[in-house]
Each structure stands twice: as structure tokens, then as C-alpha cells.
Amino acid sequence: MKSNCAVIGDGAWGTALSITLAHKGEKVNLWVRTEKEAEEISERRENVRFLPHFLLPPSVKVTHSLSEALDEVEVVIFAVPAQRLRQNVKLTKGYISHHPFIVSVIKGLELPRARRMSEILLEELGADFEDNISVLSGPTIASEVASGCPSVTMAASRDQATASELARRLSSPQLFVFPCSDVVGVELGGIIKHAVAIACGISDGFSLGNSTKVALITLGLQEMEKLGERMGADYQTFWGFSALGDMITTCFSNLSRNRYVGVELARGKSIRSIRRSIPHTAEGITAIIGAQKLACELQVDLPLTSQIDEVLQGKLSVRHALPSFFVFPPDDGWAKVGKIVEPAITIACGISDGLGWGSNTKAALITLGLQDMARLGEKMGVDHKTFFGFSALSEVITDCFSNLSHNRYVGVELAQGKSIEHIQELLPHITQEIAAITSAQRLAHTLKVDLPLTSQMLKVLEGKLSLRDAILDLLRRGPNLSPHSASCPALQCKS
């Protein structure tokens, strides 16, 4: 029987996608470069080198033959290193006689010209394929996706029908894919986050704490917006899953390769020895060089990206890589709105932790929670950019990842079967936090604004909704930033 999808590249992410698509009923051809690799993975039903401990379902066919891999498939997914995409497209395009969906899941730039992956696909495949090309990007640690942890990502295409259909085709019960029309913004989010994650790894290596990491994430968002503005991206894209969500995951997860690079640099390792120690391609290193080249060409100042670029090139000591101080204006709107929405976000993240889900899920919940704040704040006359600044990010991210957070503890205990009454007996002051969630929902009702995460957490606390259903329903609904849908780059998913 013909396969529905071809995945070109057997790295961790390509393998994880193959597993996920197969579990939802798709027949997948996973293409590898050599016959020996194909035989080894086929016999073991496991990609020992890049994604060990995860078995390939029977409906994943491993092959080194491009003609076999691409035979009348409906979706072609490129999951190869950025520097090899053009070469692989040249190899494959002779076998693509029809017009399938063409997808890049690569978060990088091609050197030396700093070309985005969608640009390479268009250059090599030609204008006839322009409406078929899309990119997939979001907070997706491969092993978490393969293990079934709920995760979200964006499918971006210039063609709205392509984005919506691809989101429908790739979505599964655990991987929620949402359509988007901002290809440049989605790609830039996955590119700039590399520098931020390495900087956060350096911060962790020097034990500088979560406040420093949140400051670095805030700077990263600012750099995305500055570069994105010059390149025609929608700034709201950077407040969604493919930018902010992806940054949170890669900056906090112990499974993040970029964060690992930063930690090892702080420990005194050379970049050469670090690259040798990683079995996977260190995509972030070349992406940072490309991002800095783009910034120079467009005359955009990206201080953080520039600093990390100099560290990687050996021009700057790692001890001088991070800014010596951070200056952010006070966010009065945070005190006005954020304090009554933040408890719901932290409890949701605690539930996710208690259920054993990974950083992909938490990053998505934090992003959705901040969007709740922005929607409520906008109705109350507060600039929604406030809620993607340092004060809001610091409070929310720190609480969601801290073992000392009482609200996170509430979520963890709920996930472990404790009743809210029992938790309140242990921590009487939690009653005030729960009252804040109730107040936020009442205010939202009065102002006629939808706060999905806040509403779901209130239902959980009232015993009206199961924990697992509450989280999965939130992820299934996806981004909902602006009360005016026309201003949001995300399209309505037709799944």
C-alpha cells in the first residue's frame, strides 16, 4: 500500500515525527542515506544513534531509496541539517512528479547567504511549488513528542489552504498543529532562539538563577521583534508557540542541545570539543552566525545574538558573554492584571508536571496563559506588550519552574489525586490564590473576553472538569491572542 508521508532525514526530530504520524494512522517512509543504515534501523525497529529507546511502529518503512520513499506520497517532510537541505532537495526533486505538501521542520539558516529554509525550497523546486511549501516550528523536544507528551507546533505557509490542511494532516491526539500565515515570523522564532538558549545555558553553568534566564528570554523576544519588523513578520507571532514557547522549552529543558552547549562553555569546554560530544547536528551554532549576518545586512542591532556569536567564534570570553546588567521599564499593567491570572498558569503547569508531561507542554501552557493576560489587559486599557515583558515573564516562568512555588505545588498535588480541600488545609493561604482565579474569570465575564486557560483551571478547582481533559482541551484549542481575530496571524484550524 502507498505511504501517505515521506520523512527525509533520520535525525531525532525526523524519527519522532515518523513515530507520531504512524501512531495516528499514517503510513510513513523514513528515508536514510545508506543501505546499511536502513537495514540496521529496520531490523532493530529503533534509531539507536539519534533517538534510542523508541520503537518504530510497523507502518514506518525505512528505506535508502528515494524513488521508493517518494512514490506518490502526499506529504514530504525535510528533517535534515540546514546546511544540507539544498543538497537533499536537489536529490529528491527528480522523484517528485506531482505536487505534494513540502514541509521543512528545520530551525536554521543556510550559510554563507543566511537563507531561510522556505527560501531554499522555493529556489530549488520553483514557483510552481510556492503554495505547497510550509514550515513547521514550535516547542517540540523530539523525545517528548515520541513518548506521547502533549506538544504544540505551528504550520506556516503563504497559502492559507495549505497551512490549514497541513495542520489537519499532521495533528494527532498528542501533537497539536496550528495553521499560520506568517512564514517569516515562524522561521525567525526558531532561529533567534538558538542564541538565547546558549546564553541561558551559560547562565545555568554559572548558577545565575532563573531571573537572569528570564531577562535573556525577554531580550531574545525583543531581538526577534526588531529583526522580524525589518523582514515583514507580524510581531504577534513572536508571542506564540513558535517563538516564545520554543524559547521557554529550549532554555529550560535539560534535553536542549543549545542549552547544553552554553552549560559546557561555562564549564570551560571549547566549542570544538562540545560539537564532538554531541551526536546530533548543533544547528544553533550555524544559525547564530547566519542570524548575525542577516542583522548586519538589514542594519539591525541584536546585542545578545552578537555576543553569543563572538563567543562561538572565540572572540569573546564566555565570562563576558552575558550583559552585565539588564534595564527594563516597570510594568504597572502587570500588577493590575497579571497577579490575578498568574495563579491559573502556575497551577496548570503543576498539573502538567504531576502528570509526568514534559517541558513542551509547560511551554505551551505558559504561552497560552500569557495570551490570557494580554487579552484581559487589552480590555482594561493595558498595552498587551506589557505581558510579554520582563515583569510578567519573570513572575510566570519562575513560578512555573520553581519547586518552591505554592501554586505549582497545588497543581502537582491535584494531579496526584489530592482534593483541593486537602491542599487548602495544608496551605491555608492558597485560598487567596484560588480567589484570584475566580476574580479573573468574573472580570473576564464582565468585560466579555474569553480566557481559556483561566476558565479551565477554575473548572478543575470546582471539580467540574478532569485534570487531563482540561490540559488537553487547552492545547487542542491553541493560540488565541487577540480578541480581534483579524490582527492575529494564526488562522482557524479546520481540524
pLDDT higher than 80, residue 325: no
The pLDDT score that the predictor gives to residue 474 is 96
- Count, in order, helices (H) and strands (E) of the chain: 23, 12
pLDDT higher than 80, residue 191: yes
3-class SS of residue 474: helix
pLDDT higher than 80, residue 193: yes
Active site residue 226: no
pLDDT higher than 60, residue 486: no
What b/e readout covers 4-35, taking b as 16+ CB neighbours within 10 angstroms? bbbbbbbbbbbbbbbbbbbbeebbbbbbbeee
d(CA 174, CA 180): 19
d(CA 89, CA 75): 14
pTM of the predicted protein model? 0.93
What would the DSSP string read from start to end of 297-345?
HHT---HHHHHHHHHHTTSS-GGGSS-S-------HHIIIIIHHHHHHH
Q: Which one of 61, 93, 193, 362 is the catalytic residue?
A: 193
Indicate the residue type of 277: S
Confidence of residue 356 (pLDDT cuts 50, 70, 90): very high
The pLDDT score that the predictor gives to residue 330 is 61
Q: How does the average pLDDT of the chain come out, rounded?
A: 92
pLDDT higher than 70, residue 328: no
The pLDDT score that the predictor gives to residue 495 is 31
The pLDDT score that the predictor gives to residue 321 is 83
3-class SS of residue 57: coil
Residue partners of 196: CB distance under 8 A and separation at least 6: 216, 217, 219, 220, 247, 250, 251, 304
> Length of the chain in residues, anyone?
495
Beta carbons of 442 and 449 less than 8 angstroms apart: no
The pLDDT score that the predictor gives to residue 3 is 67
pLDDT higher than 70, residue 278: yes
